[in-house]
Amino acid sequence: MSEEAIKQDGAGAAGAPAPALSEAAAVLASGDADAKAAADAKALADAKARKVRAKSIPAGIAFVRASFNNTTVSITDARGGVIAWSSAGRAGFKGSRKCTAFAATMVAQDAARQASSQGMHEVEIRIQGAGAGRESAVRAIQSAGMQVSLIKDCTPIPHNGCRPRKRRRV
């Protein structure tokens, strides 16, 4: 007798009749089990990946861009991946109110709250532009509970600038 027949006789002796499977059906059934195991392993890996993304980031960089028309704040990790961002338009300001110091305060607080909810508590600030919201954005980030380790001005400065207009003759 073959091994399958012995197993079926043993199962039949236990009281429950075993279904008669052909060799091809047995291979397909074992393949289904392998596919289920692979799907379970993939689901477990996806869950672990989600947990890795949710890992807290203790320190980062806050980029404050204060132009004459708008203020944007984006907070990134050390590698440059954006964690939180906000702008005056996103905060609900429109038109000439976007370039105010109050709008910059609200924008910076919003971005800092988003970053602190992901575990960030220390930030390096890099400011660019000459808008009205420069100092108020820095103060708002500090008041939101972030520890500021460095404040750096990254405003681009021309080394000779554009060619001036021709001289006016009177």
Under the banding of pLDDT at 50, 70 and 90, the label for residue 56 is confident
| pLDDT greater than 70 at residue 29 | no
Position 50 confidence tier, pLDDT thresholds 50, 70, 90:
low
Cβ within 8 Å of residue 166, ≥6 positions away: none
**Residue showing tokens 């954006």:** 82
Would you say residue 10 has pLDDT above 70?
no
pLDDT for the residue numbered 47: 66
Q: Where are the domains of the chain?
A: 22-55, 59-153
Q: Answer yes or no: is pLDDT of 45 > 90.
A: no
Q: How far is CA 161 from CA 129, 131, 132, 155, 158, in A?
A: 16, 20, 23, 14, 5
Q: Which residue, among 122, 92, 132, has the nearest Cα to 110 in the 3D structure?
A: 92
Model confidence at 85: pLDDT above 80: yes
Whole-prediction pTM: 0.64
Band of the pLDDT at 169, cuts 50, 70, 90? very high
Query: What class, spelled out in words, does domain 59-153 have in CATH?
Result: alpha beta
Residue 104 has pLDDT above 70, yes or no: yes
